[in-house]
Amino acid sequence: MNTPDTKRRFFFETTVLPNNYFYIYAMSEFLPVIEYVSRYVELTDEEIKHFTSFLKITKVKKRQFIVQPGFVCKSKSYVVKGAFRAYLADNEGKEHTLAFAIEDWWISDYSSLIYQEPATLFVEALEDSVLIQIDYEHEQTFLRDIPKLEKFERIITQRSLAFHQKRMLSAFTKTAEERYEEFMTKYSAIAKRVPQYALASYLGFSTEYLSKIRNKKTPKS
């Protein structure tokens, strides 16, 4: 987490910008993602200014899609406010939830984004939401211009790979009830905000089975 001393380093707080109040306002809008990046790398004021010049704020309504199959994913999204899920619909129309994202998480169809090919996932807003988005082409530019952000991307990618490996191991080695308990222990804040069918899909069982587990955990009066 950032300390007050860390926050003082941000460009809009430390530099006088006569007749440039719009830039100060824009920087304040991007503060959540600046703080996120600063957990892993330390950027100079000029690097922060350059980085944020490529960011955009996007407001999304509940049930709106920011990624859909057949269309190339053009950006990755940092959640400032709201909740999302990424899911696959199979040939029979059954939905398989792959990921959730709430505040301070990232979400995208990363295969589509990285290879710039048509997406296979839906990414849907579960609440009215606000995102900070980074376009693929813009990301390539600032990664080239700011080597520290290459380091940031490497760290985040490594952490993501480790997370998905742990999830796969959990799916192979733990019972459905154990997977539910693990999720509730680590991500109870997400469980409170996503539909029951989406949580059941993520954990790999039916909504009916999820209800059965929850009923078993509920103390009898």
Contact 12, 27 (CB under 8 A): yes
Please check whether residue 217 lies inside any domain of the structure: no
Cα separations (Å) of 131 from 24, 41, 51, 141, 200? 19, 22, 16, 21, 26
Q: What is the pLDDT of residue 27?
A: 64
CATH number at residue 8: 2.60.120.10
The domain in which residue 126 lies consists of 4-173
Please check whether residue 129 lies inside any domain of the structure: yes
Q: What is the pLDDT of residue 5?
A: 37
Contact 167, 101 (CB under 8 A): no
Please check whether residue 168 lies inside any domain of the structure: yes
Please check whether residue 94 lies inside any domain of the structure: yes
Please check whether residue 110 lies inside any domain of the structure: yes
pLDDT along the chain (221 residues), means of 10: 35 38 61 95 93 96 97 97 97 95 98 97 98 97 96 96 95 94 95 96 94 78 51
> Has this prediction a pTM greater than 0.95?
no
Please check whether residue 213 lies inside any domain of the structure: no
C-alpha span between 94 and 3 (Å, rounded): 45
| Pick from 189, 17, 207: nearest CA to 103 | 189
Q: What is the pLDDT of residue 216?
A: 82
Q: How many separate domains does the chain show? A: 1
Q: In 3-state terms, what secondary structure has residue 65?
A: strand
Please check whether residue 65 lies inside any domain of the structure: yes
Q: What is the pLDDT of residue 9?
A: 34
Q: In 3-state terms, what secondary structure has residue 158?
A: helix
Q: What is the pLDDT of residue 26?
A: 53
Please check whether residue 24 lies inside any domain of the structure: yes
